[in-house]
Chains A and B, each alone.
Chain A
């Protein structure tokens, strides 16, 4: 069964600025943040001797934290803010009722609107940021795409826990805990679920393949979390375990 149908997308598009993001306020803020990021990347690109730095020190740390940690966190905070009233005012009950299929396509659309906006922003900014290393070639595109799984993961984690606990602040707390734990442990403790595998470059030291596995795992887990979140009748119910 298709999650999206043309008619659902049409309804979503028609009501996005009146229902879900009044006058596009949050979308404008997101685009504004991404514009500032772009300006920063244009003014302060990575140094010319970036590759040499990698070779000498064996790590990207602090250079790539911007795309591995800072931007995904911003995106996750935007997702938190976008869905905050749903859980604060219990509006999610209403949307659950108006989900006529197995998955809430409206919820997926709302999540995707912000995640896709941030992804596009990241792709453009990243290309400018690394223009001294590679620009508008396959390498630059691959480097930029490798940054997206972090963004997907944090945005999926925050929404998943908000929905599971029906409490926005628990979602925020779990997402921040995951983020801070990964950052402090330099991405090592969470292994394949690490956000900082790139910034801290530890997988590169063993095998670049492990890094690719890490990226794929993040994308797959994000998709699973998103689908679990948007199911009308949850397959798992975390709050049930606490009520026993």
Chain B
């Protein structure tokens, strides 16, 4: 089933400080990555979508049903993995999943089979009967995402999913997310660009002014940045001098005191170094840094 999430003019403030300003977007099934600097309101947006915070104005509709009703939040249709996921250390993984299943008020007759399937899907067989306090960071994160997908929700919210995981665990986690996003809208808040590049279908960037600055695909962001990124080969000894002239976004060491640099041409002085050429391969990280830099100009 194709799900649809519609967010309209969300505003949230703490005291007089605005955390989210007129935030609107639409999305369907797939992985949507939410990027932005620290403190721009990523977690606030996730908490509003999860029904934990209530916005000052705006609306959120999941398949045309309001998520912001004061009276009820459809927990059976949503899954949430908070940034700092933890559970009582003396509770077993299975007891925890069983609690979530019951709280979501899913059919009791399917419980055993559904939980067994989830345990297998997330390769938790080894630890599921152990106490959560004995879980490694990777297993805890896996259990966290497993509880979020109980009941096959239409909307899954994952806040900073790969923080604290080693590279191998991050790869495994990416695979899990890709799998679950086939049938649901999966919104991931992160600042790890590498993760976004590998698995996200859509990208949203929250600017420092707390508004939605970019809403598109990874390729669209790269295309936006490409004309403004230049590449040059310079002598290693000139690096500090060059740094004062242009905004370097990537350095690559070459032989004989040479360094290949990628830099942003569009800056306050608009300096272009000698022998510069257009960057052919722009990574998402390059594009993201350009985008953040362009915002500050």
Residues of A in contact with B (beta carbons under 8 Å apart): 1, 7, 11, 14-15, 18-20, 22, 85, 89-91, 93-94, 96-102, 106, 232-233, 240-241, 243-244
Residues of A within 8 A of B16 (CB): 244
Q: Report the minimum CB–CB distance from B128 to chain A (whole Å).
A: 14
Residues of B in contact with A (beta carbons under 8 Å apart): 14-17, 50-54, 70-75, 80, 82, 84-92, 95-96, 98-100, 102-105
A-B CB proximity, top 4 nearest: A244-B15, A89-B86, A18-B95, A233-B54
What's the Cα separation between A20 and B91 when bound, in Å? Answer: 9
Q: Is the CB of A15 within 8 A of B89?
A: no
**Given known A18-B95, A19-B99, A102-B71, contact A93–B88 (CB-CB < 8 A):** no
What's the Cα separation between A140 and B82 when bound, in Å? Answer: 51
Q: Is the CB of B14 within 8 A of A97?
A: no
Picked from B14, B73, B92, the residue with its CB within 8 Å of the CB of A99 is B73
Q: Is the CB of A15 within 8 A of B98?
A: yes
**CB<8 Å pairs between A and B, sample of 18:** A11-B99, A11-B103, A19-B91, A19-B96, A22-B88, A85-B89, A89-B86, A89-B87, A90-B84, A91-B87, A97-B51, A97-B52, A99-B73, A101-B71, A101-B72, A102-B71, A240-B15, A243-B14
Q: Which residue of B lies closest to A25 (CB)?
A: B90
Q: Is the CB of B87 within 8 A of A22?
A: no
Q: Report the minimum CB–CB distance from B81 to chain A (whole Å).
A: 9
Q: Is the CB of B90 within 8 A of A100?
A: no
Q: Which residue of A lies closest to B13 (CB)?
A: A240
Highest count of chain B CB atoms <10 Å: which of A14, A20, A91, A94: A94
Q: Report the minimum CB–CB distance from B158 to chain A (whole Å).
A: 12
Q: Is the CB of A90 within 8 A of B71?
A: no
Q: Report the minimum CB–CB distance from A185 to chain B (whole Å).
A: 34
- Chain B binding surface SS class: loop
Q: Is the CB of A98 within 8 A of B100?
A: yes
Picked from B71, B74, B84, B95, the residue with its CB within 8 Å of the CB of A19 is B95
What's the Cα separation between A99 and B96 when bound, in Å? Answer: 16
**Given known A19-B99, A90-B86, contact A102–B52 (CB-CB < 8 A):** no
What's the Cα separation between A244 and B15 when bound, in Å? Answer: 6
Q: Which residue of A lies closest to B131 (CB)?
A: A22
Residues of B within 8 A of A19 (CB): 88, 91, 95-96, 99
Q: Is the CB of A15 within 8 A of B95?
A: yes
Q: Is the CB of A233 within 8 A of B53?
A: yes
Q: Is the CB of A15 within 8 A of B71?
A: no
Picked from B51, B87, B102, the residue with its CB within 8 Å of the CB of A232 is B51
Q: Which residue of B lies closest to A237 (CB)?
A: B14
Q: Is the CB of B102 within 8 A of A97?
A: no
What's the Cα separation between A168 and B263 when bound, in Å? Answer: 49
Q: Report the minimum CB–CB distance from A24 to chain B (whole Å).
A: 12
Residues of B within 8 A of A90 (CB): 82, 84, 86
Residues of A within 8 A of B72 (CB): 100-101
Q: Is the CB of B54 within 8 A of A22?
A: no
What's the Cα separation between A98 and B150 when bound, in Å? Answer: 12
Q: Report the minimum CB–CB distance from A99 to chain B (whole Å).
A: 7
What's the Cα separation between A85 and B99 when bound, in Å? Answer: 17
Q: Report the minimum CB–CB distance from B62 to chain A (whole Å).
A: 14
Q: Is the CB of A18 within 8 A of B99?
A: yes
Q: Report the minimum CB–CB distance from A66 to chain B (whole Å).
A: 33
What's the Cα separation between A56 and B8 when bound, in Å? Answer: 72
**Given known A11-B102, A22-B91, A240-B14, contact A94–B71 (CB-CB < 8 A):** no
What's the Cα separation between A14 and B98 when bound, in Å? Answer: 10
Q: Which residue of A lies closest to B79 (CB)?
A: A97
Other A-B pairs, 20, CB within 8 Å; known A99-B73, A241-B15, A244-B16: A11-B103, A18-B91, A18-B92, A19-B95, A19-B96, A22-B88, A22-B91, A85-B89, A89-B84, A89-B89, A90-B82, A91-B88, A93-B82, A94-B80, A97-B75, A97-B82, A99-B75, A232-B51, A232-B73, A244-B17
